[in-house]
Amino acid sequence: MSEKVTALDLAATDLSDATKSYFAKCEEKLGLVPNVLKAYAFDDRKLRAFTDMYNELMLGESGLSKLEREMIAVAVSSVNHCYYCLTAHGAAVRQLSNDPQLGEQMVMNYRAAELSPKQKAMLDFAVKLTERPDTIEEHDRQGLRDAGFSERDIWDIAATASFFNMSNRVAAAVDMRPNVEYHAMAR
């Protein structure tokens, strides 16, 4: 953990036991501790608030598959040109889909992917919400219903797209650096 993961001089000096144990679990499960967690580790409450929201959103129960949530994450991050999120979540799309091209398409331009009309509607909404949130109207929500999404699904699409509009900006603001391991994963 000696490497610098952000441009801010906020390195955690002493990790709490809770954080040490959480990081150990990451190492075990993922083979690495995602740098975003190290970035938040200077404050236990901030780290926990972030991980609680992230885990509920991306790993919790949802009508959206984990892959679909990662696709939203990457399509949003492409609009915002977020190096950290495109790297980390681009790898996740490649892994979860077993389709390296799909990961690249989400990074580069989701419109290049061959998607079902339902998934296309999902990403169109996520990207419109990213680019012009002020212009979302009832017909946009209705478009998702017409594509087959439930009320709860719409919430999850909105919450996921919105979360990455937050994460993209935290990462941009502090120049968060992704773990180098992501680049070679699932190519």
Q: For binding to a second copy (CB under 8 A), which residues are involved?
A: 7-10, 42, 45-46, 48-50, 52-53, 56-57, 60, 78, 80-83, 86-87, 100-101, 104-105, 107-109, 111-112, 125, 129-130, 133-138, 141, 151-152, 154-155, 157-159, 161-163, 165-170, 172-175, 180, 183-184, 187
| Nearest-angstrom CA–CA distance, 118 and 165 | 22
Q: Which is nearer to a second copy, 35 or 168 (CB)?
A: 168
Q: How far apart are the first and last CA of the chain?
A: 26
- For the record, the structure tokens of 35 come out as 């740098």
Closest approach of Cβ 96 to a second copy, in Å?
Answer: 16
Closest approach of Cβ 21 to a second copy, in Å?
Answer: 19
- For the record, the structure tokens of 71 come out as 């696709």
Closest approach of Cβ 67 to a second copy, in Å?
Answer: 18
Type of residue at 94 = R
Is 122 strand, coil or helix?
helix
Q: Which is nearer to a second copy, 33 or 77 (CB)?
A: 77
Q: Which is nearer to a second copy, 23 or 103 (CB)?
A: 103
Q: Which is nearer to a second copy, 28 or 97 (CB)?
A: 97
| Nearest-angstrom CA–CA distance, 148 and 161 | 18
Please give the radius of gyration of the chain, using alpha carbons only, rounded to the nearest integer: 17
Q: Which is nearer to a second copy, 27 or 151 (CB)?
A: 151
Closest approach of Cβ 101 to a second copy, in Å?
Answer: 6
| Nearest-angstrom CA–CA distance, 157 and 172 | 22
Closest approach of Cβ 170 to a second copy, in Å?
Answer: 5
Closest CA to 85 of 147, 176, 155, 173: 176
Place of tokens 């690495």: 32
